[in-house]
Amino acid sequence: MLALALADDAFKNKFTSLKDIYSLVVPPDTDRIRLQWDEEWAKQPVFRDVEHTANGVRISKTKVLLYTKHRHHLVRLGRTCGFEKRLEFYDLRRASGKRLDEEVTPEERRLIMGNRGDVYERYYMPAFID
């Protein structure tokens, strides 16, 4: 998302690189910094489809990238890479959880993934065990 926002010059602060963002210092009285959208981009979709123009294919400023189209491209990517099983967004989430499990505590993983209780262990882990 940061890369897309930087490419679109979507921030009010006119950041030009990730370094500009990662060098910000969080004030001691809070645990976050809110990055404000530029007024022009505040109502624009972040994930946009392409459109055909007189100058060729371009990323649309207004046309939203539909989930079905994005999923189709992900499945196609999996097939192109030679995966036997159809690649799904769930696979990316499950793999991310597995990677997080190797790096952080179970409590931190639950917080990052937005899971409650033993959701990860019950619904994500059986696929690894099988």
| Residue located via tokens 């505040």 | 42
Distance CA 7, CA 124 (A): 34
Angle between helices 106-113 and 89-103 (to 10 degrees): 150
The model's pLDDT over 83-108, given as tens digits with 9 standing for 90+, comes to 999 988 888 877 777 788 788 887 88
User: At 17, is the secondary structure helix, strand, or coil?
Assistant: coil
Q: What is the pTM of this model?
A: 0.57
Residue 32: per-residue pLDDT: 87
